[in-house]
Amino acid sequence: MTNEVSHFIIKFGVRFYAMVRKSLAELAFTLAEENNLQHRFKDRVAGYDWVASFLLRHKDKLSLRTGTPSSLIRIQSFTKRNVYRFFDILEDIIFKKGFNAETIFDLDETGISVVTRSPKRLARRGSKVHVMVPQERGQLVTMTCAANAAGRFIPPMFLLPQRSR
């Protein structure tokens, strides 16, 4: 039965309904009650230890992850029909223009903080620690990297913030 639960968790995680620890504990209690299984669960949920041991038994398939926020519109527009439509249009453009693995590049960008994070400092318990913070706090440098399927790379490019005049 625990394998069925792990498959259930995976199936719904793929559909943007990933389960939290508390939901797993509630599901375990409900399944134990409905199937008349002996258990020591209290307050209508499985205990922390049960959830931890369940995750340990299924560590090859399941792990606790921090979710990536996705907007509802983005999730709703990611349908099979829209994906097929996108790839049909892409295929049409590739054949019409004669693109190949040498001419199509994938470019990714990331924001890099100009200011490094200040490390934790030792101080008397309960006291405030005052640290000098650079004025550029919050500014990002954008870095781009590009590569194609043929194995060619374009050197990274850094985009610095524009100075105000």
- pLDDT above 90 covers what percent of the chain? 41
- Tell me the per-residue pLDDT of 73-107, one tens digit each, with 9 for 90 and over: 877 888 899 999 999 999 999 999 999 999 999 99
As a whole number, the mean pLDDT across the chain is: 84
**Whole-number pLDDT of residue 113:** 80
Mean pLDDT computed over 132-140: 65
d(CA 102, CA 92): 18
- How far apart, in Å, are the Cα atoms of 128 and each of 120, 131, 135? 12, 10, 20
Judge whether residue 71 has pLDDT over 90: no
Whole-model pTM above 0.75? no
What's the CA gap between 52 and 139, in Å, rounded? 40
Residue 148: predicted pLDDT? 95
Q: What is the mean pLDDT of residues 126-150?
A: 76
All structural domains of the chain with their residue ranges = 2-57, 100-116+131-159
Work out the average pLDDT over 4-31: 84
Structure tokens at 33: 């009650």
Per residue in 15-24, pLDDT tens? 667 788 898 8
